Amino acid sequence: MRRIGVLAVAVLLLLPLAGVAAADGPAVRLSAVQAGTGGSVTVHGSGWRPRTLLMLLVCGRATPSRGVIGGTNSCANADGRAVTTDARGAFAKKLPVAEPPVPCPCVVHVATVTGTPAQADAVLDVAGHPVAPLPAEPSGGRLAILSDTRLTGSGSPLTWFGAPPSRTLVFTAGNLGTTPVKDPVFQVGTAHGVFAPQWDDRQWHGTLAPGGKAQIELPVELSAGAHGDYTVSLRYGGKSLAEQPWDVGRPWGVTLFWILLCLVVPAALFRAGMAVVDRVRPRRPAAPRPSHLRRTRPAPRARTRPAKPPPADSPAALPWFAPGEAPGGPRSAPGDDSPTSRTTPTRKGPT
């Protein structure tokens, strides 16, 4: 019983410490706070999600409190590095120091690539790089995302044939400032794979009072024929607010069209070419067909005209008959010299 009591007391003492560590969130520290161009610093991180892909960049016009003003356009993207956290959510990665495209103050910016957005910054003094004051922070309202963003809508049948895919980005925003925000202008970016996002301004018509919130819907549209893995980003006032993945299907109708085109066009050209060859080539005399293959046509029947009756006043034509065949007359007796005549006795007169 005494051991169980000791364990219970230890657990109660450790729970507040665990809560503090969890509340701290992702953290980043550098091996050196100052480095020159061409050198490198080792970035150590803790408190990140396990097995998460992170991007490390050297950015200008940034502070840990205000973040990176201008987004990744203020960072040395070509010299960035990627790292994956271990099972405890920690990492260590060497990062080359490069001059960002804008003046300092500079930071090492670490942010998640996919999944729930998370970021952290560590101050870095880039030796020899110009320094300029940051733009004044806008007074008044401050907008923040109060719920997870989501993409709504579905593709139309035309997107199957290459029409631009479109969705609606839905989120709930709240005004954490002291003055109302009227008709805020958000920036919606679409990025394909690991490429930098393309930003478009989207204005929401309405007013957010201090402490108020509203559901905001912003249209998102890609170029015609777009397909693959895309990421939709949202930012306001130069600060990134949310990211949402978008898997765009391939327009198979376009593929089917090109397959049919590759089959129909060669067939049509072949038919046209054979027609031209058949018309241009010289004609040969037809060979006589064998007699057993010939078809004999029946001779046309002679049309007999009915005989016209002779006129009444014309003499009747006498028919010709063979000798001894006159109709109605006595049959002539065969001659003596006929082989069929019978020999008749002759009477002898007085001599």
Does this model's pTM top 0.75? My answer is no
3-state secondary structure of 41: strand
15: in domain = no
Residues 156 and 230 in one domain: yes
Residue 132 within any structural domain of the chain: no
- What is the model's pLDDT at position 18? 34
- Inside any domain, residue 113: yes
* Comparison of pLDDT for 6 and 68, the residue scoring more: 68
Is there a domain that residue 107 lies in? yes
Whether 164 and 225 map to the same domain: the answer is: yes
pLDDT tens digits for 249-292? 888 887 888 888 888 888 888 888 888 888 887 877 766 666 66
Q: How many domains does the chain have?
A: 2
pLDDT at 20: 33
- Domain of residue 100, CATH code: 2.60.40.230
CB atoms within 10 A of CB 45: 21
Query: In terms of residue numbers, what domain contains 92?
Result: 23-127
**One-character DSSP codes across 319-338:** PP--TT--TTSPPPPPPTTS
- Specify which residues 190 forms β-bridges with: 198, 232
252, 286, 301: which is the final residue of a domain?
252
Shared domain check, 168 and 246? yes
Of the candidates 196, 229, 252, which is a domain's last residue? 252
Residue 350: CA count within 13 A, CB half-sphere:
0
Mean pLDDT of 142-148: 83
Q: Is residue 34 part of a domain?
A: yes
- Which of 124, 121, 105, 122 has the alpha carbon at shortest distance from 37? 124
- Residue 220 maps to a domain: yes
The CATH number of the domain where 206 resides is what?
Answer: 2.60.40.10
**Nearest CA-CA partner of 234 in 144, 310, 165, 319:** 144
* CA pair distance 318, 88, nearest whole angstrom: 142
Percentage of the chain beyond pLDDT 90 is 31
- Which residues fall within 8 angstroms of residue 149, CB to CB, at 6 or more apart? 169, 170, 171, 234, 242, 243, 244
Regarding whether 159 and 117 lie in a shared domain, the answer is no
Whether residue 148 is found in the same domain as residue 244: yes
In the block, tokens 């006032």 appear at 237
Residue corresponding to tokens 């559901």: 215
152 and 206 co-located in one domain:
yes
**Confidence at 54, pLDDT banded by 50, 70, 90:** very high
- SS3 state of residue 13: helix
Q: What is the pLDDT of residue 334?
A: 52
Q: Give me the pLDDT at residue 346, please.
A: 54
Residue 39: predicted pLDDT: 92
Q: Are residues 228 and 188 in the same domain?
A: yes
Domain match, 180 and 94 both? no
For residue 335, tell me if it sits in a domain: no
Residue 10 lies in a domain: no
Domain termination site, one of 205, 221, 252:
252
**Gap between the Cα atoms of 140 and 135, Å rounded:** 15
Same domain, 107 and 174: no
User: Token digits for 214?
Assistant: 């509203």
Both 154 and 119 in one domain: the answer is: no
Rg (CA), the chain: 55
Q: Can you give the pLDDT at residue 42?
A: 96
Q: Domain check: are 121 and 29 in the same one?
A: yes
Least confident range from 151-155, 157-161, 163-167: namely 157-161
Quote helix, strand, coil % in the chain, to nearest 5.
Answer: 20, 35, 50
